[in-house]
Chain A
């Protein structure tokens, strides 16, 4: 694994399912990758202006793995992303406006200011929802949850598939193990993608597992395992489409390992001091997924450079417009914090020490004569 990352030359080649996509869809793949990168660059600018309230998580260099894999799903399918799968969320219908509002903790953000960054979702019946389920921060937890989502598809005989992303680090969690094992035993229509980007925060994969490669874990779970070059968007599409097709055909779980590289730190504050010198630069120069795909489109598909430039301009305009819209939104009203912990009761009461709180139920009226202990009478009673 480590050797592979130190030599980041283009590895796999796209196979037939990816190559067979019509040009229009191939250009759509390009557009989603470009939108991912441009939107993240905008978020960096907003972060530096302190308009992003919390941390900022980049997927620079991993756009192909997020976009290419989610592109293999149908609109009725459900996907649960990881922090570096903003591209997958965009493919599934999340909008730049939603993402920007979410990062800026706006009142009308998808979670009304309750959750951070791309931790939001939209799931439910097919046709009425876009089909992405927001992650939570404890890693691996979405594997069992998505097994449950897939279990509902199976129970109801619905023609729907689930896809869940984990990082190399999350493969070390109990939740990952229990979730994929459970889904495998139940033969659920679930695709599990391990994005091997070399690092979990600062921890290299060599300290995460003694396995030669993550895809080997598939054998232990009794499911098909496939590995692909995560920086080749068509290869990613190809491997995922095959897994999705198997799931749809009732053949159960597939484990996919996508080989990629995290060029930015865990989050924007991370200075990546733990990365060997030159590693990031080599990946940027030799194996950028967008650069690689531009070459595929222009050289093999004979797409004019002007066509791609036009897409880039459209993306830039979309991100500009989304930023303007998002910045206009206000911040949540403090009392909204008390809404919706439960369906019933619908809201919690503010505590008594908050101005305006209802203290009538406190019952702290002091009865006449109370509070003076009289030893002779054995107390006040």
Chain B
């Protein structure tokens, strides 16, 4: 509904609803998504609207959910499947990386499907309801990965994901589900996969990030502007595979100082890949080493004091930007 502010979660639901209405091949499959409407109610109302043939409650079987989606996708259907928590995508890792990701390349089999699920921390969810497992999947050729930070992008990227001819992993940040709102652009709002967004224009230091930490970075940028007079640019990657190399290079050339922030753990996280790309493509434009603010390499603990310590916070970002600016 154009003009009305809706939440990040409602934006995802609106995208799925519009795509199901547009294309009869789109169907939903997952645990507790029908009568219950999903653990976070993303698919609330879908069963009543589209019926049991298109909103399918599955057994607790992530391998079967992803595998069956792949088989149906080969036959021309467009499954959108839910991992009740994205942490459980690990159960389907083989099916996604060995089967789905390779299907087009090894066998010319189309696999147009979306695997979506609530992701991320800052919600006191503990080790198995807080994960950010995106890095393992961007490492796998054949998969696309998106992770929006705004309601507008959540809707537009979901529509793009459903229409994409390959498998898209759609990470939804559960901290943002009901905290972030936006007014949807009118009409058929599709955000292209593979394009980053400049969340804040700046000239002194660039922060490259995505998902919930976009909002941490924006908060830090305001503080740095107010307290230090620093002009911080914030790039929201939105798509993690493929990465928007042009946008990354452009911001490096503009500010010459780069901080990469992600909520995922540090070692083997996407920040490492971004740093390598910056090093290979625009080393000469750097005035300081690329720095990272990430989670500690720790399974995410439950207690607020512990979780807050492990995850990146606004003050961590402020400190890192100050260090870069003073280099």
Contact = CB atoms under 8 A, between A and B. Distances in A.
B281 interface: yes
Q: How large is the interface on A (under 10, 10 to 19, 20 to 34, 35 or more residues)?
A: 35 or more
Chain A at the B interface: SS class? loop
B108 A340 contact: yes
A365 B281 CA distance: 10
Contacts of B79: 148
A380 B58 contact: no
B105 A340 contact: yes
A343 B104 contact: yes
A179 B64 contact: yes
Interface residues of B, number: 55
Interface string A116-144: 00011101110000000110111001011
A115 B288 CA distance: 45
A343 B74 contact: no
A114 B105 contact: yes
Interface string B294-319: 00000000000000000000000000
Nearest to B288: A379
A174 interface: yes
B284 A379 contact: no
A242 to B, nearest CB: 24
Chain B at the A interface: SS class? helix
Given A115-B107, A178-B64, A144 B281 contact: no
Nearest to A182: B64
Interface string B63-83: 111111111111111010000
Interface stretch (A149-157, A199-207, A248-256): A149-157
Interface in B234-253: 242, 245, 249, 253
B67 A143 contact: yes
B127 interface: no
Contact of B284 (A124, A147, A344, A370): A370
Interface string B145-160: 0000000000000000
Contacts of B224: none
Nearest to A173: B63
A133 B213 CA distance: 43
B91 to A, nearest CB: 8
Nearest to A123: B74
Nearest to A174: B63
Contacts of A174: 63, 91
Given A124-B75, A149-B71, A362-B280, A144 B64 contact: yes
A345 B56 CA distance: 32
B241 to A, nearest CB: 10
Q: Chain A CB within 10 Å — which of B56, B69, B75, B106 has the most?
A: B75
A148 B142 contact: no
B64 A147 contact: yes
Given A141-B99, A155-B27, A380 B280 contact: no
Nearest to B77: A152
Contacts of A121: 107, 109
Contacts of B53: 155
Interface in A88-133: 111, 114-115, 119-121, 123-125, 133
A366 B284 contact: yes
A248 B106 CA distance: 31
B61 interface: yes
A120 B166 contact: no
- CB-based closest 9 A-B pairs: A148-B71, A144-B67, A148-B68, A343-B165, A152-B75, A178-B64, A182-B64, A178-B61, A149-B71
Interface of A: 111, 114-115, 119-121, 123-125, 133-134, 136-138, 141, 143-153, 155, 174-175, 178-179, 181-182, 185-186, 340-345, 348, 352, 361-367, 370, 379-381
